[in-house]
Amino acid sequence: MKYGFVIDHRRCIGCHACTVACKSENEVPLGAYRTWVKYIEQGDYPDTRRSFAVLRCNHCEDAPCITICPVTALFKRDDGIVDFDGRRCIGCKACMQACPYDALYINPYTNTAEKCNFCAHRVEIGLQPACVVVCPEQAIIAGDLDNPLSKISSLLATEDTQVRKPEARTHPKLFYIETSTAALKPLEQLHSGGYMWAERRADPILDDQEAMVQAEDKARTTYDVAHERPWGWKVSAYLFTKSISAGAFVVAVLALTFTQTMNRWLFNVAAPIASLAFLAATTALLVLDLKRPERFLNILLKPQWKSWLVLGGYTLIAFGVTASLWLGSYMAAFEAIVAPLMWVSFSLAILTAGYSAFLFKQARGRVFWNSPLVFPHLIIQSLVAGAALLLLIGVTRSFVIGAAMEEASSRFLTYELIGALIAHGVIVAGEVLAPDESAERKRAIQLMTRGLFRKLFLRGAAALGLFFPLAALLGSLAVGEPIAPFLMLAASALSLAGIFCWEHTWVQAGQAVPLS
């Protein structure tokens, strides 16, 4: 048995009865929708036409929301229905990023994720979903796709149907008959200043997108519902603090391995302490971003092992434990275990820096985040952040104690930071200038380079965070004392600011592309 929907837009009149019935049956809060009707208009007066698109969960055969959920709050039943359990949900919003169809929302009363669940409570007692029962034109057909005698199977066998975003390869079980292709592709639509029955809520991202496309080639959306962009500054800050935590440790190990004369205090003491401090900040940001932070331990106690939220959480714990043991063994002079612990912690620090690439790749709804450059880029960013922080600490301490920073350490950190910044710049250029693989990726890059995020990207990530630090570091190598330390301080601070600007631009631009 495998349940699915067919929506016949030859019959749909856009009456919203399905939306109302869904809200009533499932007590969906105001401002949230499990199913909704979108109105699309095309052409110029008097040659215009209106299309409807009834949008909802697609109950995918390969549902990315299930894979990314860290606590199995989303699951697929034996009958193919993708259902949810609000009692387990921690409100991480990862499922909203994984869904290519914008089908999930956070219930403002329970602070847990919800969506269309095929009215599973009705199906279990032999009833049809509420939207099917209430549709006056019988435009919504639900049934068993595995039963060749069912009405839905007959329609699929005899009619041409479409699905939304087949390129996502989720194998959706929601099929459309004779709806406008533009109605199913959000990037082929423009939003007018007002809707049929209300003014559209101001949205600078949508306004920015419309400024970059030709209106005559697009359909116009005249009725729709608002959908939030789930991840804000806390997620950007989590990536930033994680880069610093992992990077400080990695750079310290590299310095201890490859420099002849080394600052033991900086690399053996200050580096692991700073790393652990920023690791604690990373954990705090992760917990604070949850809608149900009191359930955070469910990630560890009720894990869903395919989710990189779970694997990443255990990576953070393992790195924190081994780094603490390394610091403790060094302070206690247990020389026999210092080196093994250092290299185990080094490996975990690399994984700590880069595991988010696999998490963002599980967010299959956000095509921009699926680049193969993300993993190496996160490692490079950690090297920038770690070298910048240690250089900042070292130079500041030299001012406090009234003695110049050891030359070997300062030169190592300076050269390392220069190399990491150059690599960072090359990868950023690769992300921005690479051939556009999809319309979603192209739109995200447009938002970064010519749209709403251009100032944060061009002035913050590129100018202040890349070109100015490189100039200051090269200048510090050329001028020597007493100006060099001030240039190093400026370069370190700007490098850290630039990493945050890039992280925030990347996170926000990636989820600013509309999904529905």
For 260, the token pair is 């002849």
Q: For residue 194, what are the β-bridge partners?
A: 199
Is 412 a domain residue?
Answer: yes
State residue 227's pLDDT score. Answer: 78
Give CA separation, 384 vs 26, 214, 266, 291, 381, in Å.
49, 40, 17, 32, 5
State residue 47's pLDDT score. Answer: 83
Number of domains the chain contains: 2
State residue 226's pLDDT score. Answer: 79
Last residue of a domain, one of 173, 203, 223: 223
Name the residue with higher pLDDT: 341 or 209: 341
State residue 46's pLDDT score. Answer: 80
Last residue of a domain, one of 162, 195, 223: 223
Is 167 a domain residue?
Answer: yes
Q: Are residues 107 and 174 in the same domain?
A: yes
> For residue range 23-57, what is the model confidence (pLDDT) as tens digits?
999 999 998 999 999 998 888 878 888 888 999 99
Q: Are residues 219 and 249 in the same domain?
A: no
Q: Given pLDDT bands bounded at 50, 70 and 90, which one contains residue 482?
A: confident
Q: Are residues 206 and 286 in the same domain?
A: no
Q: What is the mean pLDDT of residues 139-148?
A: 94
Q: Are residues 400 and 289 in the same domain?
A: yes
pTM, whole model, 2 decimals?
A: 0.93
Q: Of 174-178, 352-356, 478-482, where does mean pLDDT reach its minimum?
A: 478-482
For the cut 90, the answer to whether the pLDDT of residue 399 exceeds it is no
CB 321 within 8 A of CB 283: no
Q: Given pLDDT bands bounded at 50, 70 and 90, which one contains residue 264?
A: confident
Residue 31, Ramachandran bin (φ over 0: left; ψ between -120 and 50: alpha; else beta): left
Q: Are residues 126 and 256 in the same domain?
A: no
State residue 348's pLDDT score. Answer: 97
Name the residue with higher pLDDT: 258 or 163: 163
State residue 260's pLDDT score. Answer: 64
> For residue range 403-425, what is the model confidence (pLDDT) as tens digits?
778 888 888 999 999 999 999 99
Q: Are residues 184 and 313 in the same domain?
A: no
State residue 200's pLDDT score. Answer: 62
CB 222 within 8 A of CB 199: no
Provide the CATH number for the domain around residue 170: 3.30.70.20
Q: Are residues 364 and 400 in the same domain?
A: yes
Q: What is the mean pLDDT of residues 54-65?
A: 96
Residue 206, Ramachandran bin (φ over 0: left; ψ between -120 and 50: alpha; else beta): alpha
State residue 190's pLDDT score. Answer: 79
Q: Given pLDDT bands bounded at 50, 70 and 90, which one contains residue 192?
A: low
Last residue of a domain, one of 223, 246, 281: 223
State residue 207's pLDDT score. Answer: 63
> For residue range 71-90, what is the model confidence (pLDDT) as tens digits?
999 999 999 999 999 999 99
- Cis status of the peptide bond prior to 482, with omega within 30 of 0: yes
Q: Are residues 216 and 243 in the same domain?
A: no
For the cut 60, the answer to whether the pLDDT of residue 213 exceeds it is no
For the cut 80, the answer to whether the pLDDT of residue 195 exceeds it is no
Q: What is the mean pLDDT of residues 302-311?
A: 96
State residue 180's pLDDT score. Answer: 82
Name the residue with higher pLDDT: 223 or 108: 108
CA triple 361-35-308, angle to 5 deg: 20
Burial class (CB in 10 A: 0-12, 13-18, 19+), 204: exposed
> For residue range 103-119, what is the model confidence (pLDDT) as tens digits?
999 999 999 999 999 99
3-state SS assignment for residue 443: helix
Is 498 a domain residue?
Answer: yes
Q: Are residues 407 and 482 in the same domain?
A: yes
Q: What's the chain's average pLDDT?
A: 91
Q: What percent of the chain has pLDDT over 70?
A: 94
Provide the CATH number for the domain around residue 358: 1.20.1630.10
Q: Are residues 157 and 274 in the same domain?
A: no
Is 102 a domain residue?
Answer: yes
State residue 217's pLDDT score. Answer: 58
Q: Are residues 287 and 145 in the same domain?
A: no
State residue 206's pLDDT score. Answer: 63
- Cis status of the peptide bond prior to 46, with omega within 30 of 0: yes
Q: Of 180-189, 233-242, 381-390, 506-515, where does mean pLDDT reach its minimum?
A: 180-189
Q: What percent of the chain has pLDDT over 90?
A: 74
Is 385 a domain residue?
Answer: yes
Is 228 a domain residue?
Answer: no
Burial class (CB in 10 A: 0-12, 13-18, 19+), 179: buried
Which residue, among 151, 173, 198, 184, has the nearest Cα to 63 in the 3D structure?
173
- Containing structural domain, residue 197: 3-223
Q: Are residues 39 and 81 in the same domain?
A: yes
Q: How far apart are CA 451 and CA 448, in angstroms?
A: 6
For 263, the token pair is 């600052």
